[in-house]
Structure 1
Amino acid sequence: MRMTAASRLTTSTRSFFFVAAAFSIIMIGATLPTSIYRFYEQRYAFPPTTITVIFACYALGALAALLIAGNWSDQLGRRSMLLWGLVASAASGVEFLVADGLPALMLGRVLSGISAGIFTGTATVAVIEQAPQKWQRQATFAATASNVLGLGLGPVLSGVLVDLCPWPTRLSFAVHLALVVLGMFFIIRAPETAKLPDRAHLRMQCISLPPEVRTIFVPAALAGFSGFVVLGFFTAVSPQLARTLLGFKSGAAIGGTIFLFFVFSALGQAAPAHIPFRVRLAIGCGGLILGLVCMAACVQWTSPFLLFMGVILAGMGQGVSFRASLSELASKSPLQQRAGVISSFFVVLFVALSIPVIAVGFVIQHEGIRLATLLFAWLTTAVVVVALAMLLRREGEQPSRGIV
């Protein structure tokens, strides 16, 4: 039976939402432990450095997946790679359910990172390619919004469950495991969108870029790096800051604060696409700088209000710069190299997500949360200022008219 235009549209729309939902489910797992770290500290007497190392294992797993398999979906297909990402997420959930010490927790985070590393590049491209024709101009926003929505929901889900339910170190992962099974159903039902070669040639992802994107990759990577350094701080360190310095008691309240960061990141990503790339990146860097200044002031004067202002401004700045960078790279990349370019971009982001957080944990252990937060805020502000200065020196950036 011949499929009508209306039925084709319905199928395309359903597949688009299926892939976007699976993307969010995977990213929930990335931040799910945020509200649970304190229970690990209590149960195993972990110092602050250990907690940040556990967090960083996620980024290392994601980096490994991006470097090894970042461009494999161009060869094996989007759907196959997304299913492998879901399998890795399920393995992570099982590992957390049976974890009984530091090695198991680190392995669980590595598996979660592998899952996210597979999804970040592949699912971003898949959401863009699954979008119905009438939504193409909003396709990149849909992909990044799926990403940050999941990241924001992770701390909220675990925060509510640890406040209201028993088994604080287990139940959240059991719930997420059920969501992963649902995600597998979604991906199985979605069609393949990649144009596959007759013979697959698998190779590691190299940070080599086609000429079309080389001139924009540096400013995009600088802005993205700065934003993800801040994101890493909020997801790994800010719960301890909120508990020990600002007196937050509820896991749901702490998770809600982190969720606020991702809400405003999503709002920042909704910035009008017709604004030139260079201007959007400058606005994003400005938001990050203001947010970091508020974070430093929050610690200096022990003010929850300034914490919320920092969350809002930094989240908005991170969202603006992230979507502007990703949109420009996606629109300028040749179709057969798009997944590889986007995966290279995420390699930079996951480096930002891991190494600075471990450094902050080291300072917390030896000097305390107050000094660590102040040093983080001012040093990261300096990095963003340098990135902004380099960006403003670049000439000739034009707004993209492609995928936004």
Structure 2
Amino acid sequence: MALPLTLRSALRLQASLVLAFMAASSVPSPLYAIYRAEWGFSPATLTAVFAVYVFSLLLALLTLAPLSDHLGRRPVVLGAIALELLSIALFLGADSVGMLIAARLVQGAATGVALSVLGAGIADLDPRRAPLINSTAPLLGMCAGALASSLLATYAPAPLRLVYLLLFLVLLAQAWLAWRLPETVNARPGVLRSLRPRLAVAPNARRGFVRAMPLDIAVWALGGYMLSLGPTLARQITGGQSPLVGGLMLAALTGSGALGSLLLRARSARSLMRLGSAALAAGMGLVLASTFMPSAGLFFCGIVVAGLGFGVGFLGALRTVMADALPAQRASLMAAFLVLSYCAFSLPALAAGAAVTHFGLVATAQVYGALVMLLALVALLGTRAKAALRTAACHG
């Protein structure tokens, strides 16, 4: 049997797996225009396809997330990869909306299991850097997946097949390496009991969890809209019809978020939340302005600034939530935080998809953007109020 990976190699592999899973999750977004052209479905159906993925992911987080605390990290990582490979096989064979929904259903379960076990595994190996890795790797993954998908759809043959085939090969290679992951927790009884749907936020972590909620909801509400209806909005504002337009928009959003997180990682959690809130509100203001006076430059500028708020704000929120977590609480706390994030990711986007059929894409985007701005401003005021209270206490 091959020797286990070193701790450094194991950390890198788990970070790359987060990146791969999130890349796979964003690959379909730039392709929705092609699916719609071939199969003829509405924006409401599009957001339903998106919502199926997120609800499956949430169900996995609610039931399967604690599995790795009982069975060990490695077998659960391998199970998540197997599910993801099955979903990619379904994408490769998809010839109808029903097949697309089935693929997204399986992919959601795979991603939910993977994010919780990999997030906990990364924290096991490097607690200090885990929040940065767990916030940056998903953004880099979504950026890479959206950009690769749109580029291949525009310039390569078989736009609905080639990108999935490449993903399949990458995950196969990662699965081979994952057999060598060192185990970081001891198996313990209670597997069946752990499958009961529940959320567990330890008392010592609740204050940070509540403090991070407004900003976390704002950033993921933005992400959900942009991954479902964002490419269509980008094409309408810019006048471009290529899948590359949507891919570039998603890459600008997630790429600026990842870059901002890396550049500002030395800042405190409170400072990151304050900067993230301000950038998210400012970026959404620019995006809203671009819907009233259509401008590709203004739109992409707003997306980049909002993306900076997305990445920096999420890093600050994650650090705030995980700051007081004990090792035995990490998997369940990470799952609870991800449930919050993905509820914000899916429910508003689903409502927006229904609203588009009645009020139109641009009007829906304007209301949605205004609500995201409002949440970001609430989060900003909250961080400022906290800082003012602390200053008053020090001087008092």
Identify whether the pair has TM-score above 0.5, normalized to the shorter chain. yes
| Contact 1:22–1:184 under 8 Å retained in 2 | no
The runs of 5 or more residues in structure 2 that have no matched partner are 392-396
Equivalent residue runs for 1:197-276 within 5 Å: 197=188, 200=191, 201-270=193-262, 272-273=264-265, 275-276=267-268
| Partner in structure 2 of residue 4 of structure 1 | none
Separation in 1, partners of 2:116, 2:93: 30
1:194 matched residue in structure 2 = 185
Distance 1:161 1:255 in 2: 10
Shift of 1:322: 0.9
Determine the structure 1 residue equivalent to 2:30.
35
Alignment of 1:299-338 (within 5 A): 299-338=291-330
CA distance in 2, matches of 1:397, 1:62: 38
Task: Kindly provide the amino acid, as one letter, of the partner of residue 178 in structure 2.
Answer: I
- Counterpart contact for 1:278–1:397, Cα < 8 Å: no
CA displacement, residues 237-262 of structure 1 (integer Å, 9 cap, x when unaligned): 12101222311233234312211211
Question: C-alpha separation between the residues in 1 aligned to 2:49 and 2:163?
Answer: 17
Deviates more, 1:82-91 or 1:384-393: 384-393
Matched, 1:112 2:107: yes
**TM-score, normalized by length of structure 1?**
0.90
RMSD: 2.2
Match of 1:90 in 2: 85
CA distance in 1, matches of 2:323, 2:197: 20
Q: 1:173 to 1:63 in 2, by over 3 A?
A: same
1:389 pairs, out of 381, 389, 396, with: 381
Moved more, 39-48 or 278-287: 278-287
Residue pair 2:264, 2:312 contacting (<8 A) in 1 also: no
Q: Cα distance, 1:274 vs. partner?
A: 5.2
1:67 lines up with 2:62 in the alignment: yes
The amino acid of 1:197's aligned partner reads: R
**Which segments of 5 or more consecutive residues in structure 1 lack a partner in the other structure?**
1-6, 399-404
Map 1:371-390 → 2, pairs under 5 A: 371-390=363-382
Q: Are 1:51 and 2:46 matched, yes or no?
A: yes
**In the alignment, what sits opposite 1:159?**
150
Q: Could you tell me which residue of structure 1 aligns to residue 394 of structure 2?
A: none
Whole-angstrom CA distance in 1 between matches of 2:177 and 2:221: 32
State the 1:191 CA deviation: 0.8
Instruction: Tell me if structure 2 keeps the 8 A contact 1:291–1:309.
Output: yes
| Displacement of 1:390 | 3.9
How far residue 35 of structure 1 moved from its aligned partner, in angstroms, is 1.3
Contact kept, 8 Å, 1:25 with 1:183, in 2: the verdict is no
What number of residue pairs does the alignment pair up? 387
Give % identity.
25
Q: Which moved more, 1:183-192 or 1:336-345?
A: 183-192
Contact 1:205 1:340 in 2 (8 A): no
Out of 8, 13, 21, the position equivalent to 1:18 is 13
**Aligned residue number for residue 172 of structure 2:** 181
Summarize the Cα distance change of 1:198–1:66 in structure 2 as closer, same or farther, 3 Å threshold. closer
Partner deviation per Cα, 1:131-167 (whole Å, 9 max, x = no partner): 4xxxx53332123222211111111111111112222
Determine the C-alpha separation between the residues in 2 that align with 1:108 and 1:180: 16
Contact 1:148 1:266 in 2 (8 A): yes
Cα distance, 1:271 vs. partner?
A: 5.2
Instruction: Determine helix, strand or coil for the equivalent of 2:129.
Output: helix
Deviation, structure 1 residue 199: 5.9
What's 2:128 paired with? 137
- Aligned partner of 1:347 in structure 2 is 339
For 2:390 and 2:342, locate their aligned partners in 1 and report how far apart those are by CA, in whole Å: 26
CA contact (8 A) 1:70 1:344 kept: no
1:228 & 1:385 partners in 2: Cα distance? 15
Does the aligned pair in 1 maintain the 2:123–2:130 contact within 8 Å?
A: yes
Distance 2:42 2:52 in 1: 16
Query: Does the 8 A contact of 2:232 with 2:246 survive in 1?
Result: no
Verify the 8 A CA contact 1:26 1:150 in the aligned structure 2: yes
Between the aligned partners of 1:11 and 1:100, the Cα distance in structure 2 is 43
Measured after TM superposition, the shift of residue 214 of structure 1 is 0.9
Return the offset for 1:36.
0.8
SS in structure 2 opposite 1:195?
Answer: coil
* TM-aligned CA deviation for residue 394 of structure 1: 4.0
Which amino acid counterpart does residue 164 of structure 1 have in structure 2? Answer: Y
